[in-house]
Each structure stands twice: as C-alpha cells, then as structure tokens.
Structure 1
Amino acid sequence: MTTNQNTKFLVGGAVIVIALAYLIYTGVTQSAVYFITPSELAAAAVAGKAYRLGGMVAPGSVHWNPASLDLDFALTDGKGRVPVRHKGTPPDLFGEGRGAVVEGSWTPDGYFKATLIMAKHSENYQAPHGDPSSAAYEEMIRALQRRAPR
C-alpha cells in the first residue's frame, strides 16, 4: 500500500469507529432513563409527546369500569401527582399503593393517556405469613400446581 492509501484507510477506519462509538453512546443513554416521575412530568409536560411515566398508584385514586374498560387512577412520586386514563384491563399486579410504569402521552386536557400499563413488583419473594392451612398458602399451592411441568 502507498502512503495515500494508508491515509485513506486510517481515516475511513476512524470514521467507522467514531460512528460506532456514537451509536453505542446514544443507545446506552436513551435506555438508561427507564421512566420519568410525576414531578418531572409536571415540570415540563409537552402535549402529544410520548413518555414513559413511573410512580406509585395513589391510594383511593383507582376507578375501574369493567363494562367500558375505562380505568382512571393517579401516579405519584410523593412530590407530584399525575392523573392517568387507560382503556383496557389492568395487569394482575396493578393496585393502589403499588408501583406502575405507564407508556403514553400527555394530553392538552391535563391528564396522561396511557396506552400500556406495566405493574412493578418487588424482586424479593415473600412467602405468605401465618398458618400453613390458611387461604393464602392454599392459593400459593394452587398457583404452583398450575405452573408445574407435567
């Protein structure tokens, strides 16, 4: 190879390395923030923009209409509170005082329109407390039997 070819090869290689580094950096930084909090959304909400919002389902805020599949609730982070509306059934682990992450957009009418609800749960398993003959233990055994490979 001549000196001119070596220079072109090095410049081309450097461009490729820089492009790959940029793609990796933007991918990591965009996925690092899993969701914003209700107080962060309240500080800078943009109507129509897609968000992933996470917080605790505020006690007393859940209103569910099974006939129309309308679900209204509020997410809070202790500082801010955001009203959320969703059309569809809530996940099994969804409930007041529990963590949830919703995807959707902020509306000009002052509420968050959720298209997806993900219930958050603890990664720590806690066995039911009390008498092993209690209903909680019986339900746990039934659930395990339903999932057991045959």
Structure 2
Amino acid sequence: MKNLIILMLTALAVGLGSCSRLKCRNMDCGNGTCEKGECICDDGYEGASCQDLSRDKYLGIYTGTEECSVQGTSTVSVVVDEGYNDLSILFENLFNTNSEIQATMSGSSFTIPLQTNYAGNVIFNVVGSGHFSGNQLVVNYTVEEDGESESCSVTLSR
C-alpha cells in the first residue's frame, strides 16, 4: 500500500511537470523564453511574442526646455535615434550640440555612461540618466569642459 501511494505521487508530479512544458510546446517567444505558457522577454524586448524592441516607441524628435547651471535656460530640439545595439539609444543635439550622446536603456529609464564627445573643436565629457514617461523625456546630466562642470536638466515633449 505504501509503495502504491509513492508510485501515485511520483506519477502525479511527473504529469504536472509535463503540463508546464506542454503549454510552451507551440509557443515562439522570439527574443525571450517560454515559462508556463507565457513569454518572458529578454531585456530590451516586449510584446506577446517578444517581437518588439522596447526602445522603438521612444524614437523621434522631442522639444522643450534645457536648464543648465552655467548656460542658463534654452529651448532645444533633440532627436532620439537607434543606438549601436538593441539596448542603446542616441541623443542628437543634447546640450545644444550637434553631437551624438549614447545611452543604455532599461525599461523606460536610461543611463548615459561617462563618455567623451566633440562639438566642433570643443571636447567635453558627459554623464547622466533619465526616463521616458508617455510623450515626455526627462534627462539629468553633467557636462565637463576644460575642467569646468555644469549640471543640466531637460524636460522635452514629443
């Protein structure tokens, strides 16, 4: 009798485990994995089958106000474009320069890793972070040029 109970419990455990695998049998999760019949997307992807790049919904032209501790307030237009990999984006014209600044996405937030950039003959370093919220883009960053540091805050809309 004891052996029969153990045998039945073992069969039940094996059967339940295979149900989870059956739910994923015909699932194509593209850029993700299937768990219990649902797609779990890799970083940078979303959608029912993990088919969409998360960053794509944020690409476009944003305009608004840039407030910097030294240069003051100015109106800017910033282009958000595809970056060099699936998790990166490029800001064109942030800090009113025609240079590209790379950022790394994580959900709707991003970080701007320390990087050296050029605007004409001027060399500057930039680092920062920000997030997207609906049609708004918020960026906080620090620029260092010739040993002088400047903090900037940008709120832009699409």
**Structure ranking higher on relative contact order (CA contacts 8 Å, 6+ apart):** 1
The structure that is helix-richer by fraction is 1
TM over 0.5, shorter chain: no
TM-score between both structures, scaled by the size of structure 2: 0.29
